[in-house]
A and B are shown apart, each in its own frame.
Chain A
Amino acid sequence: MLEEVTERPVPAAAGPLARLLPIVLVLWGFVGAYLLQLSLDRAGEGRVREKVIQELAYFPSGRFIRQVAIEYRELAADLVWLRAIQYYGHHLMTDRRYEWLGHVFEILTTLDQRFIGAYHFGAITLAWDARQPTEALNLLFSGMKANPMAWQLPFDAAFISYMVSRDYETAGVLFDIASRLPGAWLITRRWAAVARAKAGDYETARQMWVEMYNATENKRLRELVVRQLRNLRLTETLDRLQRAVDRFQEDRRRLPAGLDELAATGYVDGVPERDPYGGRYFLDDGKVRTTTPPGARD
């Protein structure tokens, strides 16, 4: 037995190449995994948009998450908030379609009915970016039921009624409700009177946007306010020039040759060189227009 063992050939010591082999194989393994992951990431990039929509389509209802989250509903709401911001930001940068925005904010506010910031941001983005003022108002009205002492909610509802729906009577009532609640801005009472007088003037609108800008630390919301102020300036200038053209035509029984004639004859103080988007104002068969197409505006 011992002889058999000793007679066996002793294996030759592994050469330097053989010792390196396992290391090379491991390195190759990692390189292979890295290359595959790169390919997977590239393939996934094209599906990001589709994925966002799919994820939200199957996003469970607020009531379901509310049950599952037990005593951690507020924390679940915070996670949905981060998801909502991601969804909004993604569409703001790409197609500007916000199909699931209302759904996400409904879930969020079902989970945490006291999340005033979510009602505020959700309603403003729904009304202006998603162009869904009815959904925005519904979100705020459900928030008002859960938070009857929060002045921001009737204020936002009034703001949307005034600026988007042009329902000045409702806006007046809502501004009035907001002004009577603790902590409301003093200016709200004046806006209640302005809305009741149905004076949809640009200066009041500008003041409202500026107040909203100053009151928030939400970067996205501030960007939205800046875009709306730019739009407001464009609309105001078009309106001012159009009124001057109408007055000119009434006085002289003819259309002005161009906008410069309005300035030369004193109907306007001056015509701005450029609109807020860099386009030029011009007169087209009695109508004041701008070279910036509506699609290029914010």
Chain B
Amino acid sequence: MAFNTFRESIRDKVLATLLVFAALVMGSARVIQPLALGEESKIIKDLGLSAIALFCVLIAVLVGGRIVYKEVEKRTIYIVLSKPVRRWEFIFGKYFGLLAVLFVSLVVMTLLFYLILFVLRVDGSAYLLWSVLMTLMELAVLTAVAVLFSAFTTPITGAVFTFAVYFVGHLTRDLRLLAAMSPSPVVKLVSQFLYYVLPNFANFNIRGEVVNNALLDPSALMLAVLYAAVYTATLLFISVAIFNRKEF
């Protein structure tokens, strides 16, 4: 199931288009280089790592948003489920198939990024790869969000919801701040609830640290990887539960 999903998604025109755009954005670093006044290295690395994250997020949202729905719409779901494939296997297969696509996209973009660093003679140490690894963790959670919405909504609604969760997931620290500052116990409770329920994507953003060669906290990295695993497993469990209740 995962392999089939991977094969189908890798042929998707959206994926190819986004990869081309990512290449163009990273390549545009060449134009920015003479304007940067001594900060070329930082700007090129920021641009490259941000483009990798942004375009992988777009792939997860746009391809992931219709991954389950497409099977229902084309009625291929009936064929799949008539075979000895359990519903949880179907969801997990879709999830890991899409994650494999994202992994391949991430690897392609990272290779391209290092190639650009090499061509522009910018020091590209392996330290930057920590940021790429954390982007993969972020994508693991976001793909689970996309698969969850895909299990019960249309592609457009699913994409909008996934993008909304992605955006809010980067601002959850403000919810904690709101909980700390608000005098109302209801607001406190709701803010704290949302803070822990919504995915905290800020845990995975270490681009500032790696680009500026700042020290990384190994325990924080380990915890972030663990957080991604636990959160993803929870979302997949919910997706399976919703999918099990659907009648085909």
Contacts and interface: CB of A to CB of B under 8 A. Distances in A.
Contact of B47 (A73, A75, A117): A75
Contact of A74 (B32, B37, B167, B207): B207
B211 A74 contact: yes
A112 B208 contact: yes
A233 interface: no
A221 interface: yes
Given A82-B35, A85-B37, A220-B37, A70 B212 contact: no
Interface string B199-213: 001100101110110
Given A67-B171, A67-B174, A114-B212, A74 B50 contact: yes
Contacts, number: 67
B30 interface: no
Interface stretch (B38-46, B65-73, B226-234): B38-46
Interface string A119-156: 00100000000000000000000000000000000000
Interface in A56-77: 67, 70-75, 77
A119 to B, nearest CB: 12
Nearest to B39: A117
Contacts of A75: 46-47, 50
B212 A81 contact: no
Interface residues of B, number: 26
A235 interface: no
A70 B171 contact: yes
26 contacts: A67-B171, A70-B201, A71-B50, A71-B170, A71-B205, A71-B207, A72-B50, A75-B46, A75-B47, A75-B50, A78-B39, A78-B42, A81-B39, A85-B35, A112-B208, A113-B208, A114-B208, A115-B39, A115-B42, A115-B212, A116-B212, A121-B38, A217-B38, A218-B37, A218-B38, A219-B37
